[in-house]
Amino acid sequence: MLLVGCCLLGTSVLAAAVESRGSRTCASWLEHRLEQPEGHAFNTEIDQTWMVGYLSGLIAGSGIDVLVGTNNVSIFAMVDAYCQAQPNSDLAAAGTSLARELMREKGIVNVPTLR
């Protein structure tokens, strides 16, 4: 839990030790969500479910609910924007970036001690 929280909060000491599993690329997210939504409905659902699970893990690990007041439509639109800007990235990086952006927007500052 501490490792996930450190990534979310931007602490770099342990960030390199965290391994994300099952993360697809931003290019595949874009293909599934934007380029061919009808032909990739199942893959889109997998990508979206993975993203919500990833963000939920960050919340569970850090004790900071960055998603409060944010719906899935908004989350997916933020991932769309991130992936369009960085198509060679992966969804774990997109999720971490999204969480940091939500923290900034909601005025949540880095917490020195994680719960």
What pLDDT is stored for residue 63 in this prediction?
Answer: 87
CB 35 within 8 A of CB 24: no
pLDDT at 34: 76
- What the block records as the tokens of 14 is 């342990």
Q: CA 109, CA 111: separation in Å to the nearest integer?
A: 6
3-state secondary structure of 90: strand
Nearest to residue 75, comparing CAs of 83, 64, 63? 83
Residue 90: beta bridge partners? 25
pLDDT in tens, the chain (115 residues): 334 444 444 433 223 335 566 678 899 999 888 766 666 688 888 999 999 999 999 899 888 899 999 999 999 999 999 999 999 999 999 999 999 999 988 888 765 433 3
pTM of the model: 0.74
**pLDDT value for 53:** 94
Residue pair 57/1 in contact (Cβ under 8 Å)? The answer is no
* Per-residue confidence (pLDDT) for residue 97, from 0 to 100: 93
